């Protein structure tokens, strides 16, 4: 892995940061408080080719990899405008459709994903299974030239601004393991039988959450992604990028919080001395900076491994773990540094804290990451 920062990477980051900064944290905070999607920023980034930077060039994308997508995601966060939907529309759906979709599916969905004009979100989580794919109860049954889906999905982001949902469903039993055989389907968000019910959450985010109900949703056979029963391979090809871009978003949020806090600590004076001169303030910010930098390195390594088709599960999980902890440390230190202003709406830190706190839980919580590392990295026995 080369730690040299290329001119191309600098130019990419600078361009994305410049566009995102024109909107700024005030724009993001207003959108979050109104529960309105950051449509204008999304479309402008898409028009410049950044939303679909990882989509193959023949479908209108940038032809780059997860390293470049992670850079785009990080810079939106560093500008105070983190685009959470990039984690599902670009990192999961874009990667899965590009890797496993048929030529017709790629031609239908990838150009719209690349331009930012279209969005395909992701539905795996269920009320009784969480993200445990082995326990998924949503089914897809073959009926002639169609598939019929039934079941419920929970905490699905961005359905209201998406064209379609990439749905994980049980299509049988794996004869080798006896567990669920999974398959992926692209279902239009306005398809008959699909009901999206808003799921109220207290965290202020531009991206709304939904519970999806599939009641005999009948889709053509050509909506199946790849082969029937190949869902586990397809899902994890998307989940690692989701975790990497989630980590990148958190790194960006951490950078933004520390930049704001450093500015404030240099300007705010008490008894004639900038508060940043006091170690009680400075050390908390410095420790958070170290954590954010460490998380950025692990995130870069995970993206690098994925782009080279090397095993990236361990690195992706570790990156997501480190970045969530680092972002929350940075935000906590920044809020404390600001004193009462840390919770003032004009400083925009609380919505970012809420997002970072959500990302400590999702798309995989810290406890399941620790389980993964204990079992796969240390060889310890499974506890569940």
3-class DSSP assignment, residue 214 = strand
Catalytic residue among 242, 293, 325, 346: 242
Q: What is the rounded CA–CA span in Å between residue 188 and residue 119?
A: 11
For residues 279 and 265, is the Cβ–Cβ distance under 8 A? no
CA angle 67, 234, 179 (to 5 degrees): 140
For residues 91 and 66, is the Cβ–Cβ distance under 8 A? yes
The alpha carbon of 339 is separated from its chain's Cα centroid by a whole number of angstroms, namely 30
CA angle 216, 183, 85 (to 5 degrees): 90
Of 239, 159, 142, nearest in space to 194 by CA: 159
Strands 139-143 and 224-225: unpaired
- Count the Cβ atoms, other than its own, within 10 Å of residue 332: 17
Residue 242 is a catalytic residue: yes
Q: What is the rounded CA–CA span in Å between residue 93 and residue 311?
A: 20
For residues 339 and 345, is the Cβ–Cβ distance under 8 A? no
For residues 113 and 185, is the Cβ–Cβ distance under 8 A? no
- How far is residue 8 from each of residues 4, 12, 13, 216, measured CA to CA in Å? 11, 6, 9, 49
Phi, psi at 134, each rounded to 5°: -65, -20
Residues catalogued as catalytic: 242
């Amino acid at each position: 892995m080369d730690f040299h920062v290329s001119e191309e990477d600098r130019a990419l980051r600078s361009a994305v940061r410049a566009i995102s900064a024109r909107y700024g944290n005030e724009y993001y905070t207003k959108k979050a408080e109104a529960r309105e999607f950051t449509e204008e920023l999304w479309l402008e980034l898409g028009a410049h080719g950044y939303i679909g930077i990882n989509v193959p060039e023949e479908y209108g994308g940038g032809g780059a990899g997860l390293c470049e997508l992670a850079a785009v995601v990080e810079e939106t966060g560093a500008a105070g405008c983190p685009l959470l939907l990039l984690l599902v529309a670009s990192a999961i759906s874009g990667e899965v459709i590009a890797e496993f979709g048929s030529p017709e599916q790629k031609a239908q969905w990838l150009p719209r994903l690349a331009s930012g004009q279209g969005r395909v979100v992701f539905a795996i989580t269920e009320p009784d299974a969480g993200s445990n794919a082995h326990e998924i109860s949503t089914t897809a049954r073959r009926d002639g030239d169609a598939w019929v889906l039934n079941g419920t999905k929970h905490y699905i982001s961005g359905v209201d601004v998406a064209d379609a949902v990439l749905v994980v469903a049980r299509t049988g039993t794996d004869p080798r393991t006896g567990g669920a055989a999974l398959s992926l389907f692209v279902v239009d968000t306005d398809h008959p039988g699909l009901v999206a019910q808003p799921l109220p959450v207290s965290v202020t985010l531009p991206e709304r959450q939904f519970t999806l109900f599939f009641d005999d949703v009948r889709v053509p056979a050509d909506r199946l992604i790849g082969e029937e029963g190949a869902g586990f391979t397809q899902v994890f090809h998307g989940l690692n990028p989701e975790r990497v871009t989630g980590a990148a978003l958190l790194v960006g949020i951490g950078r933004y919080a520390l930049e704001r806090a450093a500015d404030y600590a240099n300007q705010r004076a008490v008894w004639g001395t900038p508060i940043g001169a006091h170690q009680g303030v400075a050390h908390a910010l410095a420790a958070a900076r170290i954590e954010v930098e460490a998380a950025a390195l692990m995130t870069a390594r995970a993206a690098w491994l994925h782009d080279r088709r090397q095993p990236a599960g361990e690195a992706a999980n570790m990156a997501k773990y480190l970045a969530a902890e680092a972002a929350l440390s940075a935000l906590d230190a920044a809020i404390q540094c600001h004193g009462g202003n840390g919770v003032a709406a004009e400083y925009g830190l609380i919505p970012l804290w809420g997002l970072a706190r959500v990302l400590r839980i999702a798309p995989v919580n810290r406890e399941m990451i620790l389980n993964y590392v204990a079992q796969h990295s240390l060889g310890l026995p499974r506890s569940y």
